[in-house]
Structure 1
Amino acid sequence: MLIKELTGARCGQPFDHLGLMANPQGNGLVLRAWLPGALTVDVKELGSDKVVASLTCVDKLGLFEAQFPRHKKLFPYSLSVQYPDTSTTVIDPYQFRDTAYAGLAEMTQDAANLYRTLGAQLVTEVVNGVEVSGVRFAVFAPSASAVSLIGDFNFWDGRRHPMQRSLCGHWVLFVPGLTAGERYKYELKDPMGNRLPHKADPVGFYSEQYPSFASVVYDQSQFEWHDESWRVSQLNDKLEQPLTIYELHFASWKRHDDGASLSYREMAAELIPYVKEMGYTHIELMPISEHPFSGSWGYQPVGMFAPTSRFGSADDFKYFVDQCHLAGIGVILDWVPAHFPSDSHGLARFDGTPLYEYEDPRRGWHPDWNSYIYDFGRDHVRQFLVASALYWLDHFHIDGLRVDAVASMLYWDYSRKEGEWVPNIHGGNHNYEAISLLRWFNEEVYKHYPHAMTIAEESTAFAGVSRPTFTGGLGFGFKWNMGWMHDSLEYMKKDPLYRRYHHNELTFSMVYHYDENFILSLSHDEVVHGKHSLLYKMPGDEWQQAANLRAYMGYMYAHPGKKLNFMGTEFGQSNEWNHDAQLSWWLLQFDKHKGQHNLIRDLNHLYRSETALFETDYQRGGFSWLDHNDSERSTFVMLRRNKDASSQILIVSHFTPTPVAGYRLGVPETGTYQVVLNTDSQYYWGSDYDTGGLAFHSQDVPAHGQAQSIVLNLPPLATVFIKRIGD
């Protein structure tokens, strides 16, 4: 029976049969070794060449045995093995039965222990007082009937390293002598004993690309960080800080002449100086988690604990983050806990059962993305996901996690028709399990990493997304304002002649602005799948398109809320984003695109230098409409203030191509005012329409509800920022 299990890689309790143990059929000890293909096997004292016994082949398929009738105490040993074409000395992994489960018990107490315990851990074990270095492998597969470790070290032969099942469903094996760089996978048998496709490690820290998708043992302790001062500086209230985020896709921001993507280290050299010059405070990376298909942009991950090896090693990615921090730039990652792909080497039907996904396809299969949905109600899934989030913050010093597709998690009927979904226990459409998970996720992130932030991509009116969990909210720090994005772009697409009839599309966002901590996002989703680039969403001829975009970006930076722009927006990319090619950097040779580039840079720097534009984003006293009813001239007048009103900025956005001469603008104080940024400037490829002078002196003429006013000319299709500069 034992031989049949070993030869079929179906032995689930190898420690009961292999290694050195008390002899169940006599006195002393017995040593059994399973070494298919071996000719002879000698037993040596560990650490010396002294042969203490020779094993006898008790089965020609590879089972060897020796008895030690006079021994009562276990002793550490190695095996000297002779094969037909080679010889080797190995430390038998099956003598480590007492240390195999180290750390597993603590996992239920702290989610972070999952990535400190599962996967391939480089450890030093002690056997009978002798220290031995190697790798401890541990994987959760409670319904598997057997699990074997396979890799280059055993010829990918599932017979050679059967793993031991624990009482809690983990399979464990410590293999002495293995080091970082070893490739491996798991060979599992389902509950009926059928062999499953070879599986990558769910908690693998590094992996190869197609075709192997092999997991790789990785040493997390080698990289030396230099960003402590940055991390300390981030212990601040993000709500009162300037956040202007540059969203980018790593593979297509810039490429080599031969089309190859830049590596992590090359991006550090090229991207960081660029982002710093442009004035962004943070970059947001579309998913870096390992994913098998580049066309998914990373949103179909299989390696929730591994930065993709497409661009270099995990330490190379750490170097990239470290260099960002040294340059004063934060790093936000897109993180995908909503679903995972059906690739056979991944989590799908991992142990032959729906271990990670909901079993009922009405809950466990996403029709839009053809992917599995995590079962958010199962403890091991919840721990897996929260541990993944903490892992990125811990090992990679990430500053924030933007959680993708939150709406799809919150609702059972998301993108499903009647009859295609199962209601909750109260007959409603809310997924209580996902809601609970998201709350726990946010609590754990902010408890362990108070310098970090979490951001929800959530497109519905679900209440309290960015409100604390103790008030009933989900606990996110911020939420993307998808409503603002939709309404404002719909307004901008319209011919200026008809904008007067849609004036409220630009003002409605302030009706609900204080319900959440919003980030105004113009993300990658708005420039793909036939939606056109932002530039080509704009109406009119070439000049008007560019002017509309400039005025719109000025309005965005004036509006309360933090800012996010997708790469390419900063220079008016004309074509839709293509993940298989770099951005159209060549456009910067043309004045139109160079002008947009100059504008975004100046908007970022103005925004960061004026506390009125960010300090009170979520405080009602920080924003006022001075005029939001001038639909005939499609003009919007805003006043932004900092907390003590020591800094105030007036902004006028004018969305028609007809200039307005002699426009009277109400001002909050007497004094001299100056235009500090005008999107119509010739420096930005504007018309440079004369605004009426370099300085404007207030007059005792009421306007816009203010006792004082100034008179200026409004340029066509422009946003103008105005500030008091003196008495």
Structure 2
Amino acid sequence: MEKDKTLAIVQEDPWLENYKEEIYQRWTRYQSALHEILKVNGSLSAFAQGHEYFGINFDTEKNGWVYREWAPEAEALFFIGDFNGWDRASHPMKKDEWGVWELFLPYSLYKDVFLHQSLVKVHVVHAKGNLDRIPAYIRRVVQDGESRDFAGQLWFPEEPFEWTDQSFVPRLEKTGPIIYECHVGMGQEEEEVGTYRAFADDILPKIKKTGYNAVQLMAVMEHPYYGSFGYHVSNFFSPSSRFGTPEDLKYLVNRAHDLGLAVIMDIVHSHSVQNTSEGLNEFDGSDHQYFHAGPRGYHEVWDSKLFDYGKWEVKRFLLSNIRYWLDEFHFDGYRFDGVTSMLYFHHGLITFDHFDKYFVKDVDWEAIIYLQLANALIKELKPSAISIAEEVSGMPGLCRKPEEGGIGFDYRMAMGIPDFYIKILKEKRDEEWDILEFWKELSDRRYREKTIAYAESHDQALVGDKSIAFWLMDKEMYFHMQITDPNHIIDRGVALHKLFRLFTISLGGEGYLNFMGNEFGHPEWIDFPREGNNWSYRYARRQWSLAENPRLKYKYLLRWDRAMLQLVKKYKVLTAPFADQVHADPANKVLIYKRGGLLFAFSFHPEKSIFDYQFRAPEMGKYQLIVNSDNPEFGGFGRVDESQYYYTNPHQILSIYMTNRTALVFRRVN
């Protein structure tokens, strides 16, 4: 490696030749940071045991509880809670040379007062004053119903949770990850906050039946504002108590594993809520303990605090957080939120139109080192786990190993795809759509860097925006979704909804994601309870009964989703190499390509249905139609005869009936 600084991603991409030194330094910085950790702790996984040292832990040798807190610039810390009547002076903590405060509570003296479910805080005195804070490594935080105040809660259940998932190993690499993105709190149909257990019992079976092989849980880490969707985290080691107890979350993960579903956690290490009462901000009185000082430590768009990834204790805090959720709750990987913001000092709020912007300036090397360490830790602890980056800039090497010049993620989110769909729906008439632009947007991705494709996520479903179904059908969904009620707007919407999804999953990447309810065209946006809607839960839920109602057209979209997922799994479409374009006809808006041994034919034309539509097949032979979006079972018009076989002529030409707004999938029959 020292002799040849040309790492794999440079060898494979001549456009990176001018940046080989910067890419090599990416590797050496990681090696240096890793060596520093190994020299002190012996292994990355040992370093990531901060939660077993800091916070409240029982010491069996001393026979008592030890509470430790890192607060280097604090003047005094006092442990308070139900156990001492919230006395702010009776239990002072002692500080060592590293800024770590400690207190020991002997079991013999505190066994009757330091109890399961009792409340605790820490009173911090510093140069700016004093404040009751929640311990940084606390395992559970609860909110008082009347005062709305948050407090740490001791969690010492008498019986440990009994896992039954010992034999479960996620095998997402076999068919590619097919992910169901979900929010437990709004996963129920009733107008109330859903629970971990209700989601496990009622919703997970639906997800399994449809054909997904993984669920991605949002809003797991505790957050004070429900409407933040869980992205303004306050307590990183605490499962949100809104949805139940830690054991309830374990029940959900265990139940998913019993069903053969992997569970991916939406982890937020890109920023933190700036609240001082609930979160980490100014914990020891300074603005630079966990976060960067001054403007660098504040994200103006997100109104939140930004971690200082170069600090030893910040790295230990975040890496321990990764280990904690894998070990304690058996998660099978992470979707890292806001990675673009982490990678650059400008947080990605620019146009990436030159390779200089990935390497030459404004790149936060400390954040890159942290992400490399995080991905290495995940694989060290759980080789079958996956990591996914929410990253929009297109940073080269994001999903390659550090020794290849990369950052170590397994997948990146194809964030441009949903933006593309929304853009064409907002700005162009169907007649103006360019199928070559469609092809470019969905097939343009970096070589050997795997992608999770998605037509839309929770972002498009939030109030203020619209889901694809709502863009297509809008208010007509409220009046014309009965199967006995023909309507041209609904017909168009149902047809294009199916096409967008199959086009995305078959062409856009090596994995696929769907946000809950979107698979059947859920008709309403997401709006959490707030003052502006009179604190209503009406839109913070999913109406599963719509897709289960035999009289409504939502059932057609759900059937299509099931058929589509069955197809891509059976023929391993997501794990197949990039698609090969077979035929492009911009005038008739027809696009045909081959992937995974299948032939995908799409017509996005709003009107033209063409008999004897001819194109050169990739191979001579006999072809069978195996999926047809125009089938009445999927809300189509039944115009294509599915019983016949299709034969190439001596010139390798295949003739089909290409109906408008239709997707057809063929397989070659030997």
TM range (shorter): 0.7 to 0.9
Q: Residue by residue, what CA displacement relative to the aligned partner does 1:539-562 show, whole Å, maximum 9, x if unpaired?
A: 772211121111111212221421
Matched residue, 2:598: 649
Q: Residue by residue, what CA displacement relative to the aligned partner does 1:404-463 show, whole Å, maximum 9, x if unpaired?
A: 011111111126699xxxx99x98211111111111111111122111010000011211
Structure 1 residues 122-521: aligned runs within 5 Å: 122-126=58-62, 132=63, 134-175=64-105, 176=107, 177=111, 178-190=114-126, 192=127, 195-210=129-144, 211-219=148-156, 222-231=160-169, 234=170, 238-256=172-190, 259-345=191-277, 346-414=279-347, 428-491=361-424, 494-500=428-434, 503-514=436-447, 516-521=449-454
Pick the aligned partner of 1:556 from 483, 504, 517. 504
Structure 1: how far apart are the matches of 2:237 and 2:561? Answer: 35
Tell me by how many angstroms 1:533 deviates: 1.6
Tell me by how many angstroms 1:362 deviates: 2.5
Tell me by how many angstroms 1:138 deviates: 1.1
Matched residue, 1:615: 575
The structure with the greater share of residues assigned to helix is 2
- Letter aligned with residue 409 of structure 2: F
Tell me by how many angstroms 1:311 deviates: 1.3
- Letter aligned with residue 580 of structure 2: S
Q: Residue by residue, what CA displacement relative to the aligned partner does 1:36-75 show, whole Å, maximum 9, x if unpaired?
A: xxxxxxxxxxxxxxxxxxxxxxxxxxxxxxxxxxxxxxxx
Query: Which consecutive residues of structure 1, in runs of 5 or more, have no partner in the other structure?
Result: 1-104, 127-131, 642-647, 703-707
Pick the aligned partner of 2:587 from 622, 632, 644. 632
State the TM-score, normalized to the length of structure 1. Answer: 0.76
- The alpha-carbon distance between structure 1 residues 485 and 239, as it changes in their structure 2 partners (threshold 3 A), is farther
Structure 2: how far apart are the matches of 1:498 and 1:439? Answer: 43
Q: Residue by residue, what CA displacement relative to the aligned partner does 1:148-207 show, whole Å, maximum 9, x if unpaired?
A: 1000010111111111212221111121223432321110111x3x54221111111111
2:97 is paired with a residue whose SS is: coil
Matched residue, 2:32: none
Tell me by how many angstroms 1:591 deviates: 3.2
Tell me by how many angstroms 1:106 deviates: 6.0
Structure 2: how far apart are the matches of 1:660 and 1:538? Answer: 24
Structure 2: how far apart are the matches of 1:212 and 1:486? Answer: 39
- Letter aligned with residue 294 of structure 2: P
- Letter aligned with residue 59 of structure 2: V
Tell me by how many angstroms 1:667 deviates: 3.4
Tell me by how many angstroms 1:574 deviates: 2.1
2:568 is paired with a residue whose SS is: helix
Do 2:506 and 2:574's aligned partners in 1 also have CA atoms closer than 8 Å?
no
Query: Which consecutive residues of structure 2, in runs of 5 or more, have no partner in the other structure?
Result: 1-39, 474-487, 529-536
Q: Residue by residue, what CA displacement relative to the aligned partner does 1:589-633 show, whole Å, maximum 9, x if unpaired?
A: 34321111111111112221222x1222xx35xx21102x31111
Matched residue, 1:85: none
Matched residue, 2:526: 577
Structure 1: how far apart are the matches of 2:363 and 2:240? Answer: 33
Tell me by how many angstroms 1:136 deviates: 1.6
Tell me by how many angstroms 1:583 deviates: 1.6
Matched residue, 2:664: 720
The structure with the greater share of residues assigned to strand is 1
- The alpha-carbon distance between structure 1 residues 255 and 585, as it changes in their structure 2 partners (threshold 3 A), is closer
Structure 1: how far apart are the matches of 2:230 and 2:450? Answer: 26
2:117 is paired with a residue whose SS is: coil
Structure 2: how far apart are the matches of 1:417 and 1:196? Answer: 40
Structure 1 residues 19-168: aligned runs within 5 Å: 110-126=46-62, 132=63, 134-168=64-98
Q: Residue by residue, what CA displacement relative to the aligned partner does 1:631-656 show, whole Å, maximum 9, x if unpaired?
A: 11111111113xxxxxx111111101
2:564 is paired with a residue whose SS is: helix
- The alpha-carbon distance between structure 1 residues 333 and 140, as it changes in their structure 2 partners (threshold 3 A), is same
- The alpha-carbon distance between structure 1 residues 463 and 474, as it changes in their structure 2 partners (threshold 3 A), is same
Structure 2: how far apart are the matches of 1:301 and 1:138? Answer: 21
Q: Residue by residue, what CA displacement relative to the aligned partner does 1:292-341 show, whole Å, maximum 9, x if unpaired?
A: 11011100011111111111110110111001001001111111111111
Query: RMSD of the TM alignment (CA)?
Result: 2.4
Matched residue, 1:568: 517
Pick the aligned partner of 1:600 from 545, 556, 561. 561
Aligned length: 584
Tell me by how many angstroms 1:664 deviates: 2.2
- Letter aligned with residue 154 of structure 2: V
- The alpha-carbon distance between structure 1 residues 460 and 529, as it changes in their structure 2 partners (threshold 3 A), is farther
Verify: 1:587 aligned to 2:546, yes or no.
Answer: yes
Matched residue, 1:700: 649
1:300 is paired with a residue whose SS is: coil
- Letter aligned with residue 575 of structure 1: E
- The alpha-carbon distance between structure 1 residues 107 and 154, as it changes in their structure 2 partners (threshold 3 A), is farther
- The alpha-carbon distance between structure 1 residues 369 and 183, as it changes in their structure 2 partners (threshold 3 A), is same
- Letter aligned with residue 718 of structure 1: T
Do 1:252 and 1:578's aligned partners in 2 also have CA atoms closer than 8 Å?
no
Tell me by how many angstroms 1:571 deviates: 1.0
- The alpha-carbon distance between structure 1 residues 610 and 108, as it changes in their structure 2 partners (threshold 3 A), is closer
Matched residue, 1:663: 613
Do 2:141 and 2:238's aligned partners in 1 also have CA atoms closer than 8 Å?
yes
Pick the aligned partner of 2:491 from 524, 527, 543. 543
Q: Residue by residue, what CA displacement relative to the aligned partner does 1:483-537 show, whole Å, maximum 9, x if unpaired?
A: 233234434553221114x632433432335352110022111222432121122
Identity in percent: 27
Structure 2: how far apart are the matches of 1:287 and 1:398? Answer: 14
State the TM-score, normalized to the length of structure 2. Answer: 0.83
Structure 2: how far apart are the matches of 1:634 and 1:489? Answer: 19
Tell me by how many angstroms 1:117 deviates: 1.2
- The alpha-carbon distance between structure 1 residues 260 and 488, as it changes in their structure 2 partners (threshold 3 A), is closer
Structure 2: how far apart are the matches of 1:187 and 1:203? Answer: 15
Q: Residue by residue, what CA displacement relative to the aligned partner does 1:242-296 show, whole Å, maximum 9, x if unpaired?
A: 321111111112143xx22222111111011111111111111112001111011
Matched residue, 2:13: none
- Letter aligned with residue 674 of structure 1: Q
Do 2:463 and 2:527's aligned partners in 1 also have CA atoms closer than 8 Å?
no
Structure 2: how far apart are the matches of 1:388 and 1:107? Answer: 19
Structure 2: how far apart are the matches of 1:378 and 1:678? Answer: 56
Do 1:147 and 1:171's aligned partners in 2 also have CA atoms closer than 8 Å?
yes
Pick the aligned partner of 1:681 from 606, 631, 649. 631
Do 1:111 and 1:384's aligned partners in 2 also have CA atoms closer than 8 Å?
no
2:130 is paired with a residue whose SS is: coil
Q: Which has the larger radius of gyration?
A: 1
